[in-house]
Each structure stands twice: as structure tokens, then as C-alpha cells.
Structure 1
Amino acid sequence: MSHFNSNSLFTGGIRGRTIMEAAAKGASAGVSSKADSLLNRTMMQLLEHVEYRLITGGEDLEAIYRLRYQSYLKSGMCGPIASGMFEDRWDNLPNSYRFGVYCYGELVSTLRFHYISSEQPYSPSIDAYPEVLLPRLARGETFIDGTRFATDPDAAPAPGVLPFLTLRIAMVASNYFGQDSVLTPVKVEHSHFYARFFNAVQRSEAKQFPGVLAPIALFEIPAGENMRRTLERFPFYNSTPMEQRLMFGNPAINRLTPLTILPTAKYYRTAA
């Protein structure tokens, strides 16, 4: 397998720290701007070797369930499971989208989404935080609920890139659905990343979350102007309408062959 050359991209000017660390800990606007620029250059190069797969069955589905299990077991999110796979009752809902992220042909991370509306109010966050979300659904708000985020750090092409590669799917989804906000149920100790890069706001205290052992708090990433600023700051999150339609135009729950989608951030300006 070819390896992404991260030496110059991840060390020059930031004293050996990863991009994420540099951007999150930057003490000045200049340091932060420099880290953002480095992140954008790195991610644009890396996206040349990435593909996203909308997975609905077959061996790829088993692979993301195994990745979930290995990641969750290592982090204490779940206990031993005889099958070695982690799946749940929300995986096969009609508003569910399961993705694998592949780099150089290898599975490196996975993420699942539910698009939630008053017509389809089904997702783990709805069950975990009904007091927060049901009144808003009744008012006509819509959400994307991102759950079951899992990574294989040993397969990462460079330090610190997997969250950005994986959560790019959320930005593509946001452009497609035009929802009011993205829901991100996470451990409170991980929330600084979502606040730093997406302006996420905490909406609940940490509590028992369906299917996992660790207490989880609900964070919300507002759409609209907030998403527009995020796309301007990080252009690798941009996507063409074609990429958006391929990812989310049809969940195709019964499809046995995964649908492979190539990132289109580099084509965004010419296709817009």
C-alpha cells in the first residue's frame, strides 16, 4: 500500500504537532490561520486517495460492524460481543445511511447518519434526548443525527486526519438536506473538537446513551450561517451536487453492493 507523505505537511512550522493539535491549541489568530491553511492543503491532497462507500449489505457491512466493535471495545464504549460485530436496531431504518471511509483502498473509519423530521422521527438521539428534540420536531425542525463514529488509528494515512475525513460526510449531508442542525452525541471530554471546528453547542448533560456504556451528551452544530462559515474556512468540506445526490439521494437499504463515491471538493468552484 502507498503511504501518504505527511512529514513536511505535519511538521513544518508547527514543531511536530498534528494539525488538529496545532489548530485547537493555537494561541493567536496567526497560528490558527497557519494551521487552518496547513490542514486545507493536507486534506485536499489526501482526498485524492479517499473514497466514501454507502454501505447496505455484504462483506463491507460486516467490516464496518467489526470496526465499530473493535473501536468501542478498546475505548470502553461496549463490552465483549461474541460475534465481534457491533450493530443495533437503528441500522436498517429507512432514514439510515451507513458509510465506510476508505483510504488507499483500506477501511479507516465509519459513520452513520439518520435524517430526522416529523415524518421520520427515528434515531438514537431521539430515543436518548426526547425532551430536547421532540418539541422541536413538532415545530417543524429537521436534523441530521450522526452516530456510531469509529476509526482505526493504525490505518490512518497521517496523524490526526481521520476525524476530518469522516466528518466531511456530515458537511455533504448538510448541503444536501438543508436541515436546521447536525446532532453530535459525544463524550463531554471529546466535545472541544466539535466546538473548535464546528461551533457545536451542548444541549444536554451527559447521560446513558442507547447501546453504549459511556455517558454521552448531546451537542448540536447549527446550520445556516454557521455552516457557510465552516465551508469557507475549510474548503475541503465542499462538495458538488452530484456527490451530494450519490451519497444521500437514495438510502437503498436493500442494495447488496455498496455505492462508492469519490470526494469532489476540488471540483466545487467549477461545478457551482
Structure 2
Amino acid sequence: MNTRQMTLGGKAEGDEDRPDASSLASKVFSLLERVEYRRCDKGEDLEDIYRLRYKAYRWNDMVPDDARHIISDDLDLAPNVYRFGIYVDQRLLSTMRIHHVTADYPMSTSTKAFGDVVEPMLEQGKTFVCMSRFASDPEWTRVYPQLAYVTLRLAGMACFYFGASYGLSTVREDHAGFYRRIYYSEQIGEARPYPGVVNRVVLFRTNAYANEARYYARFPFFRSTPMERRLLFARPAAGELAPLTILPTAKYYREAA
């Protein structure tokens, strides 16, 4: 099986031979023109992202065979969860799960795996955006190696929308370097097992506000409008319908440059 796809915590295929920043940005902006984000809360959308997780994880030998061909857990039902599908030309190619972690709603992958590290920070009044279940269709990542960056936009936007103290990533040991490069993250938890996954995981933390200028200088496609962030993360009021899909807005900053 191919071991260079995006899986738990994610990684861009071919990151070892990544293009220069301007070439990468151009390719990501081009792909964003064909992308839609969808918050998946029920029905077939959820089933689709659960199946995509399984497909990607099995491709990477991260989980044992399962007759259901889905990956889901109790954290998918937490009140602070946001599950996203990323569609290219209306085809689901990638997915990410985000938890907004607070003292009142501490449920997340990072808390489950590294409670001894995360809970003391919650007691200090810190809040977090925890990204997890980052997976992409292994048959398409060679076609769109920029898909990782399109997906990673979600975590940064969540940090700014919620005003989170830190972004947390529970990732495979062998993907640690990627997170240091992309998010300027620091490792705050040593490798340990995670339920249902073969690989051991480590905990990374980044301060989105402290690194904001560096993010946008290196990855201008991470920019977004307040409207995009609100559509992605605001809970609909009673009687309101959530938007079916949300279009990326990074291009507006590019056009204004």
C-alpha cells in the first residue's frame, strides 16, 4: 500500500520534494477554484466521509480490516464537533474533523490521547481547535498533491473564528516534520498509542495568532474572509438551514494583491 497519503493528522504527498513557495501557491489557488467545503452533519454526507477515512487508513495500513468499511467513533457525536468534506468538481476527495475544545466541552482527539497534557491548560482558561481524522482519497492525491493545503485551511480558519489560544494536532510520529514546517508547531506530547490506530501519535501545538503573519506570507491561500469562517463554523439559529456548500475566499486576497 502507498504510505505517502494523508491520514491521521495528514501529510501532503511528495512534501519531501515540495515546489518553491510561489509555484505551490499558484497551484493551490488554481485548485481552490474548483473546491467546495461542506459541513457534514447527517445522512449520506457523514457515511461518505466515514468511508473515505477507512479507505485512506487502510491504504496506509493504519487500521485492521473492518467489514463495515467505515471509521467513526464517539468523538463524531460530541457537541463541539465539526466534520467537513472537501469536494473537487463535486467529488469528495478529502475530509477533516475539528473540535472546539473548552473547559465546558473538552471532548477531542487530543484530550482523549493526551488528557494529562491538555486538561491542565484547560484549567488555566486556554481553549483549542483540535484537528483530527484528516484523510484523502488515495487514488486522487497523486493527481492533486495540493489537496493537503486546501484541507489544512480549515484548521487555521477555525482558530481565528473561535479565537482559540492554540491549534492542536494529534499526528503520526513520521508526520511530525510536516507540521513543524506548515504550522510552526511545537511538540508537547511524547509518542503514545491511540485506540484503533496501529501507529503511535504525538501531540503538536501552534499559536495561530503569533504565527499569523508567517502563515500568510508563506501560504497566502490560507487567508479567508470573516464570512467564509462564519459559514463554516457558526451554528444555524433555530429554524435556519445550514449552507449546503461553502466556497473558498482566499482568491479575493490574491486578486487584491
TM-score by length of 1: 0.83
Decide whether aligned partners of structure 1 residues 87 and 258 sit closer, same or farther in structure 2, where only a CA change above 3 A counts: farther
Shift of 1:21: 3.4
Give 1:10's aligned residue: none
* Partners of 2:56 and 2:138 within 8 A in 1: no
Secondary structure of 2:197's aligned partner = coil
User: Deviations 1:22-51 (Å, cap 9, x if unpaired)?
Assistant: 44xxxxxxxxxx711111111111110000
**Percentage identity across paired residues of the two chains:** 44
Please provide the CA RMSD for this pair. 2.2
**Deviation of the 1:258 alpha carbon:** 7.0
Superposed structure 1 runs of 4+ greater than 4 Å apart: 255-258
Matching of residues 84-99 of structure 1 within 5 Å: 84-99=69-84
Q: Report the CA distance between 1:90 and its aligned residue.
A: 0.5
Describe the superposition over 1:45-95 as per-residue Cα deviations: whole angstroms up to 9, x where unpaired.
111000000001111111100010111122122112221111100002110
In structure 2, runs of 5+ residues without a counterpart are: 1-12
Counterparts of 1:123-142 in structure 2, within 5 Å, are 123-142=108-127
- How far, CA to CA, are the matches of 1:269 and 1:46 in structure 2? 14
How much does 1:103 deviate?
0.6
Give the C-alpha shift of residue 220 in structure 1: 1.3
- Which 5+ residue runs of structure 1 have no aligned equivalent? 1-17, 24-33
Inter-partner Cα distance in structure 1 for 2:59 and 2:37: 24
Does residue 230 (structure 1) correspond to residue 215 (structure 2)? The answer is yes
Answering whether residue 176 of structure 2 is matched by residue 191 of structure 1, we say yes
- Asked if the contact 1:19/1:39 (under 8 Å) is kept, the reply is no
So what's the TM-score if we normalise by structure 2? 0.87
Quote how far apart the aligned CAs of 1:257 are: 7.8
Q: What is the match of residue 153 of structure 2?
A: 168
CA contact (8 A) 1:172 1:244 kept: yes
- Is 2:54 the partner of 1:69? yes
Q: Please identify which structure carries the higher helix content.
A: 1
Q: Encode CA deviations 1:165-224: one digit per residue, 9 max, x unaligned.
A: 111111111221121111111111111111112111111111111332221111112222
When the two structures are aligned, how many residues end up with a matched partner? 242
Asked which structure has the greater CA Rg, the reply is: 1
Shift of the 48–269 alpha-carbon distance from structure 1 to 2, 3 Å rule, reads closer
Does 2:67 align with 1:82?
Answer: yes
